[in-house]
Amino acid sequence: MQQLLQPTKVWSRKIRVFHWLNVLAILTLIILGLFILNGKAFGVSQDGKILLKTIHTLAGYVFISNLLIRVLFGFIGKGYEKWGKTLAFNRGFSKDLSQHLKNPSKATKGHNPLGKLMITALYLFMLIQGVTGLVITGTDIYYPPFGQHFATSIAIDKSQIDQIKPYSKDNVDPQAYQAMRNFRAPFIKTHVFSFYALTILLLLHILAVMVMELKTRSSLVSAMFSGYKHLPKNSDDL
């Protein structure tokens, strides 16, 4: 006999706003990032590249601000806003994972254990992208929060910091500039590899949501708009 499903409030407005703002910010960053990485292939001029990097940085500010607010609500929020209801490896996670693997089609109010593993990985790579991105933009187009520091570190005349511009050698100490470039190299490598890892994880996340939607019929997709899943009464409170 098919179980009767009932609407169950799961995702708060804060979570839903974070989710969709995060989707828009990441999509914007991915598109801009691909144009920046393949600037020569697209015939992007130097001024065009600076413009792309500027817009990419502004989108990055939205992304990291949204993420930091979510991190805060993970500690002070309620219900499924809290990290204990969101991330893997909390108390009892191994038991929940074992039970889920035995019955993977059973609906859960929050993320199931595999979903928690995915969310944990996504947050990890998003944080890596945010931190490395801030360092890169500070060494590239000298934007906050680190831009002033790096511009000062490479300036010949420290009183003329406003002369330090992207791709310009005016007032730039060549040795200090090279040292800055060497410092930023591992951040760029990490940012690029993390970008690919995050893109793959996002595609897997979307695929997993589609599969679980078909299996459980619990309105996983629409729940991120309405806040309500449609669940049987015996759904696990994970």
The first and second tokens of residue 76, run together, are 């002070």
Query: Does residue 103 belong to any structural domain of this protein?
Result: no
What are the contacts of 164-167 at 24+ separation with CB within 8 A? 166/50, 166/53, 166/140, 166/141, 166/142, 167/46, 167/50
Query: Does residue 170 belong to any structural domain of this protein?
Result: yes
Query: Does residue 122 belong to any structural domain of this protein?
Result: yes
Spatial distance between the Cα atoms of 85 and 111, rounded to a whole number of angstroms: 8
> Domain span at residue 19?
6-90+115-231
Q: For the domain that residue 41 is a member of, what is the CATH number?
A: 1.20.950
> Percent helix, strand and coil across the chain, each rounded to 5?
70, 5, 25
* pLDDT, tens digit, 9 for 90 and up, residues 95-109: 888 888 888 777 788
Query: Does residue 191 belong to any structural domain of this protein?
Result: yes
Query: Does residue 151 belong to any structural domain of this protein?
Result: yes
* pLDDT, tens digit, 9 for 90 and up, residues 191-221: 999 999 999 999 999 998 888 888 777 788 8
Query: Does residue 154 belong to any structural domain of this protein?
Result: yes
Query: Does residue 104 belong to any structural domain of this protein?
Result: no
Flag residues of the chain having pLDDT under 50: 1
The one-character DSSP state at 108 is: B
Work out how many domains the chain is built from and give that number.
1
Q: What pLDDT score was predicted for residue 1?
A: 42
Query: Does residue 32 belong to any structural domain of this protein?
Result: yes
